[in-house]
Chains A and B, each alone.
Chain A
Amino acid sequence: MASLTSLDKALLNMMQSNFPLNMYPYKTMADKLGVTEEGIIARLEALKTAGIIRRVGAVLDARRLGFYSTLCAAKVAVDRIDEVAEIINSYDGVTHNYRRAHEYNLWFTLTAPSQGASRIIIDELIHKTGVNIVSMPALKTYKIKVALEMEGDDHNK
């Protein structure tokens, strides 16, 4: 996809912070941006096809739902890292998994229905991969922000 137009940027900014929660959300955004509802829907289709928008929906608070999340890390021999990552990926509670430039070279997030359940999964992963996995749960959250300001946004200043 070619670079984002100023309308795309305005739309993405709006959808990251102020998605209208009413019966006609696309119409509401179209009116604010001075374009048609069909135009908005077409742009969103394009942005999804291009992979810029992963999805539109709710982001739930794991803790409020009683779920337990933690960041895990492992030191994996380079020739085994793809295989180990694949075993880790097979768990639904693993949502992010990255190879990183550090002695701890594999980092993944794990969300489970409870702390005990996460411990069981981690022990199972240690057993299946033969690699030690450490858990680094958050003790305090200072920021969770996910909206990224798109530059050159003339529509929405």
Chain B
Amino acid sequence: MTIINDQDKAILRELQGDLPLEPRPFASVAARVGVSEEYLMQRINAMMDEGIIRRFAAILRHQKAGYTVNAMVAWKVEPEQVDRIGMKFAACEQVSHCYLREVPSDFDKNLFTMVHCRSEEELNLLVLNMSELLGLEDYSIISSEHEYKKTSMKYF
């Protein structure tokens, strides 16, 4: 964990919002924080190098960007197989997230993937392929039925 000083917190507070759509957007951000534009750019790049900022990018709404079908797929994987399978999943283009999770005893599928496809058929086929290629028979496709909330975390 990294200790963040108040000035960096003020910078991050601005950057976790939406960057202004104007020719010099970082100049406005710098003015609000009370630092120079050059210094702001320096701090952004430094915090990216340190991994505090994971990425600086446009965050899309997947459904509206054409990835209409998203599902969480949870797989039961033996502990000694988890790293090998996890890395296989990670290499798959349609898999956006892959985590090994601590799960309760009534939910015995420990490896979680988020899968994004353009159709239900594509999704089912992909999951079937993953299952067959990796020899994983025990899995659940846990599709979303309703979005109650989707926002970005405000840390500061």
Q: Using a CB–CB distance below 8 Å, which chain A residues touch chain B?
A: 4, 12, 15-17, 19, 21-27, 37, 41, 44-45, 48, 50-67, 71, 73, 85-86, 88-89, 92-102, 104, 107-108, 111, 134-151
Contacts and interface: CB of A to CB of B under 8 A. Distances in A.
A122 B76 CA distance: 26
Majority secondary structure, B binding face: mixed
A64 B47 CA distance: 11
Given A26-B23, A57-B16, 8 more contacts: A21-B56, A55-B17, A57-B15, A59-B55, A96-B150, A136-B112, A138-B99, A146-B96
Interface string B13-49: 0011111011111110000000001000100110010
Interface of B: 1-2, 4, 12, 15-19, 21-27, 37, 41, 44-45, 48, 50-62, 64-67, 72, 82-83, 86-87, 89-90, 93, 95-104, 107, 112, 116, 140, 142-155
A135 B60 CA distance: 27
A148 B98 contact: no
A93 B65 CA distance: 26
Contacts of B54: 58-61, 144
A95 B142 contact: no
10 contacts: A16-B57, A55-B58, A58-B53, A59-B55, A61-B51, A61-B52, A65-B52, A134-B104, A136-B102, A138-B101
B148 A89 contact: yes
A148 B65 contact: yes
B95 A102 contact: no
Contacts of A59: 53-57, 59, 152
Question: Does more than half of chain A's interface fall in helix, strand or loop, or is it mixed?
Answer: mixed
A53 B82 contact: no
B150 A95 contact: yes
B101 A99 contact: no
A52 B52 contact: no
Nearest to B110: A139
Contact of A144 (B93, B97, B103): B97
